[in-house]
Amino acid sequence: MRASTATVLLVGLLAPFALAAPTVEKVLAPGGYRANTNLHEIPAGGSLAHVGTDIHIIAANGTVVQKVTAGTPTKVKAAVSPLETGWVAYASWLNTGSSAISSFTTSWKVPPVPTANHGQTVFLFNSIEPNSGTAILQPVLQYGPSAAGGGAFWAVASWYLDSSNTFFTTPVRTTAGTTLNGIITLTSSSGSSFNYNTQFTGISGTSLSITGAAQLTWATETLEAYGVTTISDYPAGSTVFSGINLKLASGAVPSVSWSHVNDAADGLTTTINTNGATNAQVTITY
């Protein structure tokens, strides 16, 4: 059931504005097009903290450099439109157990750059969201433009989105063939307040910590794309998400069965090669 929720996700945010409303310029983030007024690049070494109804952006030295109003609880994920943009192929698992996910790791290789460039954007990531689907924390590989920058090359950044704010680390360029390790870690928790970090292991500038978040329960391995006009706007071949490991705060390894979503009509498939929470493997074929 949770997977089908994804199909309705950013619908509210994508709804056309009333004619009388001022024009709000939109920019692209993992999760779809968003107002460009709530974009927040996190200073190097900085972090985020949920404090009451605000989110604080904290500099590396501990100074709060900006306080923004957290989004109201509406869904953040992109709808899969008839044009097959948004989350076009993904695998997911929802933790319904009583122990929180304490770590979620995934390795994949940066694909070749697409042979065609029509200004498309391709995002590849593992991600985690609360039950409500109202936020997302994700280490993201990106080709093409987004709110964080980018262009006709691969780059990595960590993102945290709620329904109105888009936070990201400064993108770091990377190249085809590089092995990425995207990790999401529960650093501590107290009651219903959860503290997380995400980063690409060994790539400095990609670490993003957030405190006071909701428990993050829905784990995904995702291909998301915008502005794709032909299959060669995607990289050739396939992306193998491997070394997928999930652990719980209890110390146990959860019993995991991955659901998957394809865009077979456009030639994109998601295959669960190895199920479970220990060295699981998911392949997205373009």
Ligand X SMILES: *[C@@H]1O[C@H](CO)[C@@H](O)[C@H](O)[C@H]1NC(C)=O
| Footprint of ligand X (CB under 6 A) | 43, 59, 61, 63, 65
Cβ proximity to ligand X: between 61 and 192 the closer is: 61
Cβ proximity to ligand X: between 63 and 230 the closer is: 63
At 125, list the tokens: 């990531």
CA distance 140 to 148: 11
- Residue 211 to residues 23, 51, 193, 263, Cα–Cα distance (Å): 33, 8, 8, 35
Nearest partner of 125 among 89, 165, 75, 72, judged by Cα: 89
Shortest CB 180 distance to ligand X, Å: 28
Alpha-carbon Rg for the chain, nearest whole angstrom, is 18
The DSSP secondary-structure symbol of 114 reads: P
Shortest CB 64 distance to ligand X, Å: 9
Shortest CB 67 distance to ligand X, Å: 14
Cβ proximity to ligand X: between 4 and 61 the closer is: 61
CA distance 106 to 190: 26
Dihedral of alpha carbons 262, 86, 225, 223, sign: negative
Shortest CB 162 distance to ligand X, Å: 23
Cβ proximity to ligand X: between 59 and 113 the closer is: 59
Cβ proximity to ligand X: between 59 and 249 the closer is: 59
Neighbours of 250 (CB within 10 A): 12
Shortest CB 44 distance to ligand X, Å: 9
Cβ proximity to ligand X: between 55 and 268 the closer is: 55
Cβ proximity to ligand X: between 63 and 179 the closer is: 63
- Residue 244 bridge partners (DSSP): 280
CA distance 190 to 103: 17
Secondary-structure percent of the chain, ordered helix, strand, coil, rounded to 5: 5, 50, 40
Shortest CB 57 distance to ligand X, Å: 10
Shortest CB 42 distance to ligand X, Å: 11
Cβ proximity to ligand X: between 63 and 229 the closer is: 63
- Residue 274 to residues 41, 54, 73, 105, 281, Cα–Cα distance (Å): 36, 40, 34, 15, 5
Shortest CB 172 distance to ligand X, Å: 19
Burial of 23 (0-12, 13-18, 19+ CB in 10 A): exposed
